[in-house]
């Protein structure tokens, strides 16, 4: 009666021709360093099956006629490809963490790694970051600089704290002003953010915290978006820069509909507040500016990087520019009827 080898398939070894469950004569059962290159290659195949195809190690070991004990001993040897891969992955994580100035946590680092060709989970990245003591900076709640004009006309709140991504660009914008300290005095920044992608199409910087600065940011956003943004809702707080006639007139000329949250309520303009907090923690907190001109160049460069490179969780870990490009391509592939229906729904 033919003897069966339990849990083993008929697999022939390329080195010695062993098959039908027989053990390979090339010392597959010995620890790494005592066998041939074939043992290293076979163990590497087993190690990659679960990562690339989800096949458990036990299944691969049975199929290839080797013991799990030998495989796990190989995994913990210093020279194993698995250890080498883990070291390379840890080094790459450290590089990306430094590249992004200690602002990226494990989800964004994972997205970067996948773009580089790594097949890795967020949990693995988080574990390797903990091992290296890599902790992303946490944003603190910032204090607003809004100066309300109690006698000015207030626009109604048309967003109602709904800052979710819109289906198309130029449906809803948010804006705010913040200040940047320098040795020469404060530099003020006005920004315009599109809720579709979190892109900043318009911003302006100046010495004065006034309506002219807010209007300059609005005009830049309109120009960047092609000059025609009729119907867009522009949501701000009730600061005097936005409630005055100078800014209101600019909105009417461009057929922009104003919307305002309450003064002193960060939640009523949360998307703009979040942008300002990100600016503070990623750029301002660790940089000292001697002049306003120095700060102006640094902020402009940071906003450009924010638009083109910085990953956003609301965009599926794409940068604003990449997200807009992906959405535009998706819309171009849709039938014309579906596109019109989506625009009407929006």
Q: What does the alpha-carbon distance between residue 32 and residue 35 come to, in Å, rounded to a whole number?
A: 6
On whether both 320 and 179 belong to a single domain, the answer is yes
On whether both 92 and 72 belong to a single domain, the answer is no
Q: What does the alpha-carbon distance between residue 111 and residue 96 come to, in Å, rounded to a whole number?
A: 11
pLDDT in tens, the chain (346 residues): 444 333 333 333 333 333 344 333 333 333 333 344 556 567 767 776 765 677 888 888 888 888 888 877 777 665 566 777 777 788 888 888 888 877 788 888 998 898 888 888 999 999 989 888 888 766 555 545 555 556 568 899 999 999 999 999 999 999 999 999 999 999 999 999 999 999 999 999 999 999 999 999 999 999 999 999 999 999 999 999 999 999 999 999 999 999 999 766 778 899 999 999 999 988 998 899 999 999 999 999 999 999 999 999 889 999 999 999 999 998 887 775 555 555 555 5
Asked whether residue 258 is domain-assigned, the answer is yes
Nearest to 166 by CA among 254, 232, 98: 232
Number of domains in the chain: 3
- Please spell the DSSP secondary structure of 16-57, one letter per residue: T---TTPPPTTTTTSPTTSS-HHHHHHHHHHHHHHHHH---H
3-state percent helix, strand, coil for the chain, nearest multiple of 5: 45, 10, 40
On whether both 66 and 177 belong to a single domain, the answer is no
Could you tell me the residue range of the domain that residue 29 belongs to?
7-77
- Tell me if 110 sits within 8 A of 121, measured CB to CB: yes
On whether both 48 and 121 belong to a single domain, the answer is no
On whether both 196 and 306 belong to a single domain, the answer is yes
On whether both 226 and 244 belong to a single domain, the answer is yes
Asked whether residue 248 is domain-assigned, the answer is yes
On whether both 188 and 206 belong to a single domain, the answer is yes
On whether both 224 and 304 belong to a single domain, the answer is yes
Asked whether residue 72 is domain-assigned, the answer is yes
* Radius of gyration of the chain measured on its C-alpha atoms: 29
Residue 145's pLDDT is 54
On whether both 94 and 71 belong to a single domain, the answer is no
Asked whether residue 2 is domain-assigned, the answer is no
User: Looking at residue 189, which CATH number applies to its domain?
Assistant: 3.30.420.10
Asked whether residue 45 is domain-assigned, the answer is yes
Residue 344's pLDDT is 52
The angle formed by the CA atoms of residues 298, 302 and 305, to the nearest 5 degrees, is 145
On whether both 308 and 186 belong to a single domain, the answer is yes
Examine the fold and report which residue of 52, 77, 102 is the final residue of a domain before the chain moves on: 77
Residue 199's pLDDT is 98
Residue positions counted in the chain: 346
On whether both 203 and 261 belong to a single domain, the answer is yes
On whether both 334 and 217 belong to a single domain, the answer is yes
Backbone phi and psi for residue 31, each to the nearest 5 degrees, phi listed first: -60, 160
């Amino acid at each position: 009666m033919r003897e069966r080898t339990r849990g083993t398939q008929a697999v022939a070894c390329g080195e010695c021709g062993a098959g039908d469950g027989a053990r390979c004569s090339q010392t597959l059962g010995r620890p790494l360093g005592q066998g041939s290159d074939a043992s290293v290659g076979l163990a590497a195949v087993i190690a990659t099956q679960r990562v690339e195809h989800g096949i458990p190690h036990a299944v691969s070991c049975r199929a290839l006629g080797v013991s799990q004990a030998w495989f796990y001993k190989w995994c913990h040897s210093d020279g194993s490809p698995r250890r080498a891969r883990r070291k390379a992955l840890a080094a790459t994580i450290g590089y990306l963490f430094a590249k992004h100035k200690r602002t990226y946590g494990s989800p964004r680092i994972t997205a970067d790694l996948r773009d580089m060709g790594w097949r890795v989970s967020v949990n693995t990245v988080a574990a390797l970051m903990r091992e290296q003591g890599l902790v992303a900076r946490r944003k603190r709640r910032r204090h607003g600089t809004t100066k309300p004009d109690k006698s000015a006309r207030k626009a109604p709140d048309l967003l109602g704290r709904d800052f979710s991504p819109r289906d198309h660009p130029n449906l809803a914008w948010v804006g705010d002003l913040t200040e940047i300290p320098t040795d020469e005095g404060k530099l003020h920044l006005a920004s315009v953010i599109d809720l579709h992608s979190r892109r900043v199409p318009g911003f302006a910087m100046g010495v004065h915290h006034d309506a002219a600065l807010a209007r300059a940011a609005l005009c830049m956003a309109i120009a960047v978006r092609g000059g025609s943004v009729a119907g867009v809702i522009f949501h701000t707080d009730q600061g005097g820069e936005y409630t005055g006639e100078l800014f209101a007139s600019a909105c009417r000329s461009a057929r922009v509909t104003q919307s305002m949250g309450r003064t002193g309520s960060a939640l009523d303009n949360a998307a703009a507040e979040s942008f300002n907090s990100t600016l503070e923690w990623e750029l301002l907190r660790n940089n000292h500016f001697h002049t306003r001109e120095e700060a102006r160049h640094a902020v402009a460069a940071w906003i450009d990087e924010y638009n083109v490179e910085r990953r956003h969780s609301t965009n599926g870990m794409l940068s604003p520019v990449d997200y807009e490009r992906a959405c535009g391509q998706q819309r171009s592939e849709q039938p014309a009827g579906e596109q019109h229906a989506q625009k009407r729904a929006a």
